[in-house]
Structure 1
Amino acid sequence: MERLGMHKLQHCLTGFAAASLSLFFIGREGIDLSILFASVFFLVVCVTDTVFARIPNLFSYTLALLALGYHALGSGLPGLNMALAGLLTGLGMFLLPFLLGGMGAGDVKALAALGALVGPGAIFQIFLYTAFLGGAMAIVHSLCKEISMGKSRPWRQAVTAAVGSGDSEGSLALASQAKVKFPFAPAIAFGYYAYLGWGAII
């Protein structure tokens, strides 16, 4: 029970931090409509993923439809094509980690919906941020789990695997390899806000 409570606390702290960041952006004056859509989406899904360990399809589908309509109305057919390309790119980015069992279908759909909103170039950059941040979160959760169970060596192996892989797919697969499950919606949210703040990685 004590270990379960510790894991729940870790999940809640991560989800609370991501939701708070979303609220910060929602409250900003003159916020871009696309950022508002994304921030409301993350506020909701970070809560549901933290509390219920799921991202309901309703929220991802709603964001995807809003994104398609937003770009179609704003830029016509080119905007719609850009949104569709972003959706497909986001869907493809999480395909391998999903097949490896490192994340759920809800995470894949969430990134796809976000891709429809931001476009293919931006979603690729967000994916890179999310991959490394998600890998870091997996290390922290793995470390806390091993400490709570009185072990210490596996976390060193997790760090070595993440640093040595040097690629985003390896970072995302870390949670699966370490058998650590945690809400991934906050990692996507952190990746999105990191991209807003720091721009493209490559």
Structure 2
Amino acid sequence: MPIEQMFTSIVLLGLLGIAVVSDLRRHRIPNLLVLLGLVLGLTIQTYASGVEGLGNAALAMLIGFAVFLPMYAMGGMAAGDVKLMAMVGCFFTPYDALWTALFSLAAGGLCGILIILFRGQLLQTLSRYWLILGARTYLAPAVDEVAGKPFPYSVAILLGTLASGYWLQIGP
């Protein structure tokens, strides 16, 4: 791995690590951290590839944002998660940012399933969603239900970024 690529990976993983710690502790991702990441990602891409790199980083940032925006609009995640995925995107090419966002969504689904299983709420959750599909109305989760608890999605973004980095290295 070239030194520039290693530096970029270390910077991105460091930023994601800080985001995960903040999200786990306070259920918030600091805007300043996201802004710093955006500036660093755009700067690194511009340094590596000039104006073309800046354009690719901006497009990749928009892809990361656009993939996560519908989840925010439906109430499935917080705005900080969407902004964090946009920040992650600007460290990649548009193609790689799309894969990273998709891997992060898959990691979030897997984390959600694991949380449901570990809390022993599989049947309760399945029955809740069967009721929603049948009634076609929103049923608010119970106080003790996993679906009503905040989920630190930055963990899924970190896992998705790591998985996509591995997958993109070995080739699609």
Provide TM-score, normalisation by structure 2: 0.80
User: Given that residues 142 and 180 in structure 1 are in contact (C-alpha distance below 8 angstroms), is that contact kept between their aligned partners in structure 2?
Assistant: no
Alpha-carbon separation, structure 1, partners of 2:96 and 2:128: 29
* Superposed displacement of residue 72, structure 1: 1.4
CA distance 1:129–1:156, shift in 2 (3 Å):
same
Structure 1 Cα separation of the partners of residues 122 and 22 of structure 2: 32
* 1:110–1:158 CA distance, 2 compared to 1 (3 A): farther
Amino acid across the alignment from 1:97: M
Q: Which residue, 135, 151, 163 being the options, matches 1:194? A: 163
Say whether 1:91 aligns with 2:72.
no
Cα 1:132/1:157, change in 2 over 3 Å: farther
Unaligned stretches of 5+ in structure 1?
1-28, 161-176
Whether 1:77 aligns to 2:47 is no
RMSD: 2.7
How far 1:178 moved relative to its partner?
Answer: 3.5
2:18 matched to 1:44?
A: yes
8 Å contact kept, 1:87–1:112 = yes
Q: 1:154 aligns with which of 119, 124, 129?
A: 124
Counterpart in the other structure of 1:101: 75
1:80 positional shift: 0.6
CA contact (8 A) 1:86 1:116 kept: yes
- Kept in 2: contact 1:138–1:180 (CA 8 A): no
Structure 1 Cα separation of the partners of residues 126 and 106 of structure 2: 17
Q: By how many angstroms is 1:136 displaced?
A: 1.3
| Aligned-pair CA distance for 1:154 | 2.4
2:150 counterpart residue number: 181
- Structure 2: how far apart are the matches of 1:96 and 1:126? 16
- Does structure 2 retain, via aligned residues, the 8 Å contact 1:46–1:185? yes
- 8 Å contact 2:116–2:122 — kept in the other structure? no
